[in-house]
Amino acid sequence: MNATVTVPEKSGLAGLNPLSKIAAVLPAMLFVALTTDVWSPLAIAGLALVVLMGVGRISPMRLARALGPVALVVLGFLLLYPLVVRRELVAGTPVFLDLGWAVIHEAALELGLTAGLRIFAFVALTMIFNLTTDAHDFARALVQQARVPYRVGYAAMAALRFAPLLRHELSVIRAAHRLRGLGEAGSLRDRLDMLWRTAVPLLASAIRRAERAALAMDGRAFGAYPTRTHLRRMTFTGRDVAFVAGFWLLTALLVIALAQLGLLGPLAFVQRV
Amino acid sequence: MQLNSVDQPTLKRAARSRWSTRELLTAAVLAMAFAVLLVPFTYLYAAVLSLGILARSALTGLFFMPAAFAAYTLRKPGAVIFVSLVSGLVAIPFTPYGLLVLGIGALTGAIGEAACWLVTRYRHFSLARIVGLSFVAGLVEFLLVLFSLRVSQIEPLILVAAIALSVLGFVVVGVVARLLADAVARTGALNNTALGRERERYV
């Protein structure tokens, strides 16, 4: 028997195999990890945003919500990284700000901006995967294309199904605590106590549910055969090849353009000083 | 069946490395439960990441919690890396970082697994061993991750403080995970795991 359900055709990035989205962004991520200048991460982040809005049809509002917290991280790096930078690295450059207890040099500011932008570019690249991929599809692709043992993949998928159950359980436990007059959180100690009192019953009930599910699965001969059939088939088609090749090409062109314009700084995993 | 011809140690070793459905599901759902408990902290983490390297170092250990818990309760080769990977996978939709969480999970898992093998050999889980395991994991994780944050640019004094904070964070989390596992074991939910079986022997 080889019955499969036809999955409704998804458009744009959502229709691609999750693994091809990861393969597409990996070289760009490696490049970002190696950069030491401001412009390269900025350009890569720009590429990711253009692909997300152009190919993925993600609305700018949704993008802003997803990347907002990370933009704050960049700001934080810009403000605080200069305070921990080694002084002899930046001592030769003009002073940007003298606070009395700390002097901020222009080079230190630039280093902070680069560190922050690198993280921003990383996250922008992963959004190509995140905003367009269902975690179940990812687990399916891992089993069907990446040859992960299906017992492992299906255990992970079963765990995903537990998410709403466990969140419900969490609210029930909290309600039970409030009923006994334990709900009001005050000091940090109270909060930690509460986290502990919530964690123990949540973990206990999660494990009991897992054992029941495992018995049910064993009862249906889960894992009895080395291979199995799949209800939903993940595919790896010409569209995936085109997307991966296209993204690699765009990344390469961007790197060449940066080098031609003289904006590309030295590349290094560990920066020599 | 040639079961009789297999000697006892071989059987024991086989039982240690083979995964039953129950163990697979227990590990995966443990990861999910920790994701539900820890997701608020990933937002906190996003906030403190901008507060600099020291705050970041102090919090990183939290993501070692599922790994330490799994190492102590399941005591199986592969448990640490499996639980870390699944907790990364299931956290993808809920965190501001997405796929990066899976990367961090893979890294923490691989380091934790190696440290677990090195320190405990999946057999000895005294408090001292848990401290040792967490210490090794914290140190290696710091060295690997922070190289990508351009360690060489940072003041040596602050760097040393960051290493100390990071390792301390891992050790505290490892000890808390052990206490938590013992507390959960007292409810009886862990009776079918290696930890539960060990406790039964002493009752």
pLDDT tens digits, A145-181: 999 999 999 999 998 889 899 999 999 999 999 898 8
From first CA to last CA, the distance across chain A in angstroms is 64
The ipTM of this complex is 0.86
User: Which amino acid, B155?
Assistant: E
What is the structure's pLDDT at B147?
A: 63
pLDDT of residue A209: 94
Contacts of B100 in chain A (CB under 8 A): 122-123, 126
Rounded CA gap, B94 and B84, in Å?
Answer: 16
- Whether residue B30 and residue A203 make contact (CB cut-off 8 A), yes or no, is yes
Q: How far apart are CA A139 and CA A148, in angstroms?
A: 9
Write down the pLDDT at residue A34.
84
pLDDT number for residue B14: 58
Phi and psi dihedrals of A230, rounded to 5? -125, 135
Which spans in chain B are helix H? 8-17, 21-49, 53-60, 65-74, 79-91, 99-120, 127-147, 156-186, 194-202
The pair of three-digit structure tokens given for residue B132, joined into one six-digit string? 């040792």
A204 and B184 within 8 Å at the Cβ level: the answer is: yes
A217 at B interface, C-beta within 8 A? yes
Mutate one of A152, A203, A208 to test the B interface: name it (highest B CB count within 10 A).
A203
pLDDT tens column, B74-107: 999 999 999 998 888 887 776 666 677 788 888 8
Residue by residue, what is the 3-state secondary structure of A28-49? HHHHHHHCCCCHHHHHHHHHHH
Residue B18 touches partner A, C-beta closer than 8 Å: no
Instruction: Please give the residue that has the higher pLDDT: either A113 or A91.
Output: A113
Question: Where is average pLDDT lowest: A183-192, A264-273, B125-134, B175-184?
Answer: A264-273
Give A141: exposed, middle or buried? Use CB within 10 Å, 0-12, 13-18, 19+: buried
pLDDT exceeds 60 at position B4: no
The domain locations on chain B are 12-202
- Partner residues linked to A104 by β-bridges: A97
| CA–CA dist A250, A55 (Å, integer) | 14
> Is the Cα torsion angle A149, A150, A151, A156 positive or negative in sign?
positive
User: Alpha helices, DSSP H only, in chain A?
Assistant: 18-34, 39-54, 60-84, 87-90, 106-130, 135-144, 150-179, 188-219, 238-260
Fold of B12-202: Arp2/3 complex 21 kDa subunit ARPC3 (1.10.1760)
Name which of B109, B22, B104 is nearest A209 in CA terms: B22
Nearest to B190 among A84, A207, A218 (CB): A207
SS3 A91: coil
- For A:98-157, CB contacts with B below 8 A are 111, 115-116, 119, 122-123, 126-127, 129-130, 135, 138-139, 151-152, 155-156
Does B44 reach chain A within 8 Å, measured CB to CB?
Answer: no
